[in-house]
Amino acid sequence: MGSRLRTEPFAEEDLSHDAFLGGRLRIAQPKTGYRAGIDPVLLAASVPARAGQSLLDLGCGSGIAALCVAARVPGVVLAGLEIQPAYVALALRNSAANSLSLEVTEGDIADMPAALRAKQFDHVIANPPYFDRSHSTAAEDAGRERAMGEALPLADWVRAAARRTRAGGTVTFIQRAERLPDLLAAMAAHLGSIEILPLIPRRGRAARLFLLRGRKNGRAALRLHDGWLLHAGENHGQDGEDYTSATSDVLRKAAALPFPA
């Protein structure tokens, strides 16, 4: 199932139109199948991009992460690579609907199109599939499975990202905690100045997700930062969301999620 692609376009009645960043973005995405949550928003908020720099989103899906970067930092030149034609069309639609420029290339990370191989970027980001399907069950929906079930090893994602990053540029991934050993080993082989930022669901709980950043030709020692707290309180004790004020600012006001200095 991991090799299946969503090729046919989404019918209009199969799409929802969802607000991100407090309504700064309106994103069309499938009602069923892979739907973006907060993970690509957190990833985008962590990128230390500046106006005039360039960014590549590997496996960009419907374009949410890249467009969140552009909404926070106007003037960033955006590119995306996506293997599923239906999601390429969605990413282009979403960029146009939000009056943001995103150049999307259809292709495979393992066999990147020549036009993209000829470019390098200041920042490369990725939200790769979380689940190793040798130890988990595949999703029924082809688009969701491609997004969530690993078909390409994490090491290949990192290698491709590093090759597309110019000297001094950053590579940032978001991933599940149990995949940290695999991703860290891959980054250490291709990048330096590696930093790990755990994303803590609540005070006293173990991190389920983490952000991992490396720098091309970086020489600094590895840094394991204090975790970023997502939710306030020890338990969910109220109706609605209970994000910390800092996390709410990231999700609703397009604030940055900086790694500690």
The tens digit of pLDDT for each residue in 55-80 reads 999 999 999 999 999 999 999 999 99
7 part of a folded domain: no
What tokens were used for 43?
A: 């990833």
Distance between CA atoms of 31 and 13, rounded to whole angstroms?
9
> pLDDT value at position 140?
55
213 part of a folded domain: yes
What are the backbone angles phi and psi of residue 116, rounded to the nearest 5°? -80, -35
Buried b (16+ CB within 10 A) or exposed e, 122-158: bbbbbbbbbbebeeeeebebbbbbbbbbbbbebeebb
Beta pairing, strands 77-82 & 102-106: parallel
Q: Which domain holds residue 159?
A: 12-253
74 part of a folded domain: yes
**131 compared with 260, residue with greater pLDDT:** 260
Q: With 90 as the cut, is the pLDDT of residue 236 above it?
A: no
The CATH number assigned to the domain holding 87 equals: 3.40.50.150
52 part of a folded domain: yes
1 part of a folded domain: no
**214 compared with 134, residue with greater pLDDT:** 214
How would residue 116 be classed by pLDDT, with cut points 50, 70 and 90?
Answer: very high
Distance between CA atoms of 250 and 43, rounded to whole angstroms?
10
Structurally, the chain folds into a number of domains equal to 1
> pLDDT value at position 132?
55
261 part of a folded domain: no
Q: With 90 as the cut, is the pLDDT of residue 49 above it?
A: yes
For residue range 149-194, what is the model confidence (pLDDT) as tens digits? 457 999 999 999 999 999 999 999 999 999 999 999 999 999 999 9
Overall pTM > 0.85? yes
247 part of a folded domain: yes
Distance between CA atoms of 102 and 83, rounded to whole angstroms?
16
135 part of a folded domain: yes
Where does the chain have alpha helices with state H? 39-45, 64-72, 85-97, 114-117, 142-148, 154-163, 180-190, 245-253
